[in-house]
Amino acid sequence: MGRLHDEAAWHRRARRQLQCEPLCAMCLSEGRIIAAKIADHITPHRNDPHAFWTGQLQSLCANCHESRKKFVEHRGYGRTMGLDGLPTDPRGIRFIEGREFS
């Protein structure tokens, strides 16, 4: 984490986010009730102070923040599968079983 995360104002903002939305947004979207531990920027701020302080936040559990969110940020799509066995993220439908589809 950079210097922006060390500021007291960030800690207050993150704490307020978790108080307002105490459950993990990613887990909740799948019907799972998991307590959130991390206030996460929905759009990565890339150390831009304006984006850091004004960007929209979401509450995430540590597992979703460290694995699922980072996967989406690096690959550009989610890998969650629906009950039908297909990706729930339409951006990932091209990549089923490691093969690219048109």
For the chain, the structural domain boundaries read: 3-100
Say how far apart CA 70 and CA 15 lie, in whole Å: 22
pLDDT for the residue 79 = 64
- Quickly count: other Cβ atoms within 10 Å of residue 24's Cβ: 26
What does pTM read for this prediction? 0.69
- pLDDT tens column, 2-54: 577 778 999 999 999 999 999 999 899 888 999 999 999 988 888 889 989 99
Whole-angstrom CA distances from 30 to 17, 20, 24, 60, 85 are: 20, 20, 10, 13, 14
Give the containing element (helix H, strand E) for 52.
Answer: helix 49-54
Question: Which region, left, alpha or beta, applies to residue 85 given φ > 0 means left and ψ of -120 to 50 means alpha?
Answer: left
